A and B are shown apart, each in its own frame.
Chain A
């Protein structure tokens, strides 16, 4: 009886502790992996091509991208935002949901939602977009076609990317992650 009462008050501990109960002690490598995955997908800023990077070829990205280097070829970011930094020089055709230009683009730009040409930016090429903002002091040479967006049917949820479009343009990411999530890049890479 004495033994039985003790068992009721203090249920027996399992012989093998699940990893999830104490992940750091039991399985440090899994814990580290989980933190890394979370960091990659949620907390860091857009991918960045730094100012000392030069790429010749095609760039396709499935996330927002900041280019502060030189690109000779084409850049496609369907449903995402491309930011051309003040040091960025693109000799390329560009397709993206939103394009913010602080540097230089020589090429045609297809921005399905919006293009924002900032002061001191330079864009030579034809633009197709739904909305355009051009600051005084920006240089633009080319044509502008405003594409009227088709009305969305009622009840369709707004995709995450579209919701992000209404947010103000963020500052460049503090910790550059050089082209890590840009997939694929085809062509030459020069430092």
Chain B
């Protein structure tokens, strides 16, 4: 369920409100990047969960990072792509803040990168409605939620050599 759906459904909202204080998330347009593309502040106040992030990483309908990247110990993935660099040791090469920036909007770290911007909602040319081929209306739901980004970042940070 997307977080938009959560916000729209009053019943779900109430359950959430009763169970825990509303999770605070930074909206895509409010994210602050530094000059090199890093994001200092977590996008969600719930700490990233590396295990969840590992799932998002391979899942076709969410991260699908594996379409372009390979990680040596991900023998669970049926196929791994090689468009982008291998992510083995990504947690050694990059700080958490840098990883957050790369996952949210890689083009701020690597200008012109082929890597899609995961936490961006507008500014597209012929934006579509997911994979239907039909027109979508901006702002589009971002490819990943704030929490999914924190989870993926937590997972990437564990990739040490």
Question: Bound pair: A and B?
Answer: no
